[in-house]
Amino acid sequence: MMWKRTATLEALNAMTAGNMTGLLDIRFVYLDDARLEATMPVDSRTHQPFGLLHGGASVVLAETLGSVAGYLCTEGDQSVVGLEVNANHIRSVRSGLVRGVCRAVHVGRRHQVWQIEIVDEQGRLCCTSRLTTAVV
């Protein structure tokens, strides 16, 4: 298992209160030895002006997943900060839930690289994102 911290979905979801993650109703829904998943509603909070999922909201979901996964790979008073995030928006979504699936590409002592794929309710790829973090 790559996680160095003990976590439950309940504890991860408690961290969302009072910040952007909570405002967008991002919910952690799955955690195993190598993967972290979360959902986000596609509604007025996450729409762009034309009624589609806002690319920035997808990036918030991706960065949330990668940052939390990165934190789970640290110890003691260490934390992670984002260095670079990119996203390719593949398919538009108008409503429902999207699910982000986060997996490690590289987990080192000083930096990490995370791959996050966001799919719609039919399992179709909507966005693929990569987040690089620094361990501080």
Q: Which CATH class is domain 9-135?
A: alpha beta
Catalytic residue among 10, 37, 63, 121: 63
Average pLDDT over residues 84-95: 98
How confident is the model over 47-82, as pLDDT tens digits?
999 999 999 999 999 999 999 999 999 999 999 999
Q: Check the annotation: does 82 bind a ligand.
A: yes
Using alpha carbons, select from 3, 107, 126, 108 the residue that is nearest to residue 116.
Answer: 126
Q: What is the predicted pLDDT for the residue at 34?
A: 94
Annotated binding residue at 89? Answer: yes
Q: What is the pLDDT of residue 19?
A: 97
Binding residue per annotation — 5?
no
Sign of the alpha-carbon torsion through 105, 101, 136, 59: positive
Query: Could you confirm whether 84 is annotated as catalytic?
Result: no
Q: Which residues fall within 8 angstroms of residue 131, CB to CB, at 6 or more apart?
A: 62, 63, 66, 67, 70, 82, 84, 85, 113, 114, 116
Q: Where are the domains of the chain?
A: 9-135
pTM above 0.75, yes or no: yes
